[in-house]
């Protein structure tokens, strides 16, 4: 009866797998004394992390260490505030102090921290050792409701009279049952001695300016502060589409407001960002990073019809962003009178001397300019960025690392790049909504180098300490991945060479960190195929009609999806019902004969040979008795096998048991490869007795 199971067993082990090296990082460090971690900030060796009711200073060399640098500061709200919060907002879970940002102010040598503080946002000015210097009201600086987004940036230079200031985007109030919520882009009052500039903000409750935005990041870019977010599109209302658009807003740092504008910005403009995939505009901006002074990279996600989401990285040059936001001529938009349609404002309606850049004195603006500014913020159709990477997952955060490498050892193979060639590689890390980190690089923009599984929920933020560590946070943990300790996880030359942190040691055939050994070949996947070792081909003689197991020697589970078997250089598929793959990518041939003679190679990652067999079937004297009755069946299934060779059932049971044993070893395999060796399945032939 167990014989019947064989067919089923073989079927469920058919190839189905990942196509990505996927593993838990080596020496992964985790800190989880706290919840709702946010806002990673690196200042020298310290890693500051915001959490619920808590601010932490961790040692970036070892976040698990609670000695030395480690400090924590409780920033909990008192019980009165908490009770008041609960009675007003009902949801106790939100009535705590969720830290929304932790900023460094180098010129003040301090930290500037804002927390939701039971719906009464509060600002804390702290020393590097987390001593409280001052605290203040935080309305407008960060959102009241911890579920509402916010972003902020400290700007030292370029403001009126060069007075340093915070710029923020947040929600000014919180959702109660009756009140709509009010988003704002804000700069508080600037004061120096007897001079002051009143606060500036976006218009109140005006969806043309901000429409249910989800704020992401803010940047200091030349004369401007840029805010990136996504929001409900106003332009689409007419077509009754409920769509979110990615946006960038600029304000001028030098904006000093104007009497006739009240407290409104004179310089606020917004436009749409997108990139195009398969004739579809991508709209859901998830995160954005500045890769260099002149380049930004946006992370977009797209939900596919089958409910799963995929992600894209798209490039936006500073030039394209500023051009898109500044060219007022013929590109402002407004609602056509009497309709709901947005159209371009014709040039002749734009006031003369309308400022395109920040080089104007807002307090001297003419009335016609002021009136125009009051009613126009949307500009241009959209700014489109090219796609540079694609990830088959829903990524929600991204980090960037620029590596300047010297290809030292290409001289070993004289045809390669000249030794000493300097190259720059951009490496991107994607944090996914299901707790994974994906690594890609500009060396091969199509290839996923590695997928690290952190076994947590969404990776909300990533931060890099260049060339050393990657920090990640989810709601329940802070993680530290040592970038130079991952190399030994790449078991093949090709995977190793595609990671810019690693190189292949051609003497030992091992993958090592380029930091640890300068004698490695790196970023040269072409070389790998030339390192194939054909002398390892094994000769296999086998009787016709018997079953044969050929081992691939896959060293780690993540390689399973990258395995391909070839016979005489032609890919083997399981279309032939006599051919099966085991769960660990070994090849089984049932009932073979001379037509199966040939060289069988098992490759990882397309061109890396893991094992090679020269198989020869001997014609057998008892062959005729082995032949399947000509019942019209072309392919033998396990069941017909059993029917015809009843007396082989014992062998099948043994085979079945062996498969079960392998199955059990599957999990243990990765704990200890030793145990696999002790299973002693190397070059096992499963022969079925003929008597």
Ligand X SMILES: *[C@@H]1O[C@H](CO)[C@@H](O)[C@H](O)[C@H]1NC(C)=O
Is 455 a binding residue for ligand X by CB under 6 A? The answer is no
Residues 84-113 interacting with ligand X (rule: CB under 6 A): 98
SS3 for 5?
Answer: helix
- To ligand X, the closest distance from the beta carbon of 57 in angstroms equals 11
Closest CB to ligand X among 255 and 586?
A: 586
SS3 for 652?
Answer: helix
CB neighbours of residue 533 within 10 Å: 9
| Distance separating alpha carbons of residues 371 and 349, to the nearest angstrom | 12
Closest CB to ligand X among 60 and 498?
A: 60
**Rg, the chain, Cα only:** 32
- To ligand X, the closest distance from the beta carbon of 36 in angstroms equals 4
Applying CB under 6 A, which of residues 513, 593, 601, 611 lies at the interface with ligand X? 593
Q: Which region, judged by CB under 6 A, interacts with ligand X, from 156-164, 363-371, 411-419, 592-600?
A: 592-600
Applying CB under 6 A, which of residues 178, 359, 680, 691 lies at the interface with ligand X? 680
Is 594 a binding residue for ligand X by CB under 6 A? The answer is yes
Closest CB to ligand X among 574 and 578?
A: 578
Contact code string over 274-303 relative to ligand X, x by CB under 6 A: ----x-------------------------
Q: Which region, judged by CB under 6 A, interacts with ligand X, from 179-187, 370-378, 593-601, 644-652?
A: 593-601
Contact code string over 21-50 relative to ligand X, x by CB under 6 A: ------------x-xx--------------
Residues 6+ apart with CB under 8 A from 58: 31, 46, 47, 48, 49, 65, 69, 70, 478
In our burial notation (b when 16+ CB lie closer than 10 A, e otherwise), range 324-346 reads bbbebeebbbbbeeeeeebeebe
Is 595 a binding residue for ligand X by CB under 6 A? The answer is yes
Question: Crossing angle for the helix pair 649-671 and 2-12, nearest 10 degrees?
Answer: 40
Closest CB to ligand X among 96 and 267?
A: 96
Closest CB to ligand X among 366 and 675?
A: 675
Is 146 a binding residue for ligand X by CB under 6 A? The answer is yes
Residues 6+ apart with CB under 8 A from 513: 484, 485, 487, 501, 502, 503
Pairing of strands 224-232, 436-441: unpaired
Place of tokens 């991204």: 398
Place of tokens 């407008």: 140
Binding residue count for ligand X, defined by CB under 6 A:
17
- To ligand X, the closest distance from the beta carbon of 40 in angstroms equals 15
Closest CB to ligand X among 98 and 645?
A: 98
Closest CB to ligand X among 35 and 574?
A: 35
Is 222 a binding residue for ligand X by CB under 6 A? The answer is no
Place of tokens 């014709």: 346
Residues 458-497 interacting with ligand X (rule: CB under 6 A): 475-476
Is 171 a binding residue for ligand X by CB under 6 A? The answer is no
What six digits make up the tokens of 595? 């037509």
> What's the per-residue H, E or C state across 309-347?
EEEEEEEEEHHHHHHHHHCCCCCEEEECCCCCCEEECCH
Pairing of strands 469-473, 461-465: antiparallel
Residues 54-73 interacting with ligand X (rule: CB under 6 A): 66, 70
The residues that touch ligand X, with contacts defined as CB under 6 A, are 33, 35-36, 66, 70, 98, 146-147, 278, 475-476, 578, 593-595, 678, 680
């Amino acid at each position: 009866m167990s014989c019947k199971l064989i067919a089923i067993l073989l079927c469920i082990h058919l190839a189905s797998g990942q196509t990505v090296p996927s593993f838990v990082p080596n020496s992964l460090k985790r800190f989880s004394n706290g919840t709702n971690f946010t806002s990673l900030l690196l200042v020298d060796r310290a890693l500051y992390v915001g959490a619920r009711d808590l601010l932490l200073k961790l040692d970036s060399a070892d976040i698990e260490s609670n000695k030395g640098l480690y400090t924590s500061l409780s920033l909990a709200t008192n019980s009165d505030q908490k009770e008041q919060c609960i009675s007003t907002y009902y949801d106790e879970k939100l009535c705590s102090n969720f830290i929304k940002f932790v900023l460094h102010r180098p010129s003040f040598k301090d930290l500037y921290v804002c927390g939701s503080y039971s719906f009464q946002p509060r600002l804390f000015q702290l020393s590097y050792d987390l001593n409280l210097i001052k605290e203040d009201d935080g309305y407008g600086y960060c959102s009241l409701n911890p579920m509402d987004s916010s972003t902020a940036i400290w700007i030292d230079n370029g403001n009126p009279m060069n007075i340093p200031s915070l710029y923020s985007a947040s929600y000014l109030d919180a959702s109660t049952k009756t009140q709509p919520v009010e988003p704002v882009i804000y700069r508080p009052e600037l004061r120096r001695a007897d001079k002051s500039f009143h606060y500036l903000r976006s218009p109140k409750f005006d969806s043309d300016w901000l429409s249910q935005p989800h704020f992401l990041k803010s940047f200091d870019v030349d004369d401007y502060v840029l805010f990136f977010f996504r929001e409900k599109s106003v332009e689409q209302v007419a077509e009754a589409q409920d769509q979110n658009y990615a946006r960038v807003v600029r304000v001028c740092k030098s904006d000093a407001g104007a009497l006739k504008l009240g407290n409104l910005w004179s310089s606020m403009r917004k436009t749409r960002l997108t990139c195009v995939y398969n004739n579809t505009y991508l709209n859901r901006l998830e995160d954005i990073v500045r890769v260099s002074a002149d380049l930004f990279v946006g992370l977009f996600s797209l939900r596919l019809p089958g409910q799963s989401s995929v992600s894209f990285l798209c490039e936006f040059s500073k030039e394209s962003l500023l051009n898109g936001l500044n060219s007022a001529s013929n590109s402002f938009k407004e609602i056509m009178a009497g309709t709901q349609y947005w159209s371009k404002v014709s040039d002749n309606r734009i006031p003369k001397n309308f400022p395109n850049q920040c080089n104007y004195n807002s307090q001297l603006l003419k009335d016609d300019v002021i009136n125009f500014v009051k009613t126009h913020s949307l500009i241009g159709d959209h700014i489109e960025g090219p796609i540079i990477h694609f990830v088959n997952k829903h990524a929600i955060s991204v980090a960037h690392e620029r590596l300047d490498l010297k290809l030292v050892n290409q001289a070993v193979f004289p045809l390669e790049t000249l030794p000493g060639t300097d190259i720059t590689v951009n490496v991107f890390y994607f944090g996914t909504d299901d707790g994974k980190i994906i690594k890609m690089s500009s060396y091969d923009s199509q290839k996923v180098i590695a997928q690290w599984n952190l076994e947590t929920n969404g990776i909300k933020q990533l931060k890099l300490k260049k060339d050393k560590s990657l920090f990640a946070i989810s709601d329940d943990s802070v993680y530290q991945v040592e970038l130079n300790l991952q190399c030994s996880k790449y078991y093949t030359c090709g995977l190793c060479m595609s990671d810019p942190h690693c190189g292949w040691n051609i003497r030992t055939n091992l993958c090592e960190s380029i930091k640890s050994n300068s004698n490695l070949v790196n970023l040269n996947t072409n070389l790998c195929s030339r390192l194939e070792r054909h002398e390892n081909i094994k000769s296999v003689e086998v009787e016709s009609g018997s079953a044969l197991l050929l081992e691939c020697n896959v060293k780690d589970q993540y390689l399973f999806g990258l395995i391909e078997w070839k016979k005489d250089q032609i890919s083997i598929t399981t279309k032939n019902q006599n051919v099966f793959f085991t769960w660990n990518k070994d090849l089984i041939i049932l009932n073979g004969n001379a037509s199966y003679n040939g060289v069988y190679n098992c490759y990882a990652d397309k061109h890396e040979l893991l094992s090679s067999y020269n198989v020869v079937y001997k014609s057998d004297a008892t062959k005729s008795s082995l032949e399947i009755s000509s019942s019209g069946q072309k392919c033998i299934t396990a069941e017909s096998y059993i029917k015809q060779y009843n007396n082989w059932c014992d062998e099948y049971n043994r085979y079945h048991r062996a498969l079960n044993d392998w199955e059990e070893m599957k999990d243990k395999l990765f704990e200890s490869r030793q145990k696999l060796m002790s299973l002693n399945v190397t070059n096992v032939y499963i022969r079925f007795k003929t008597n």
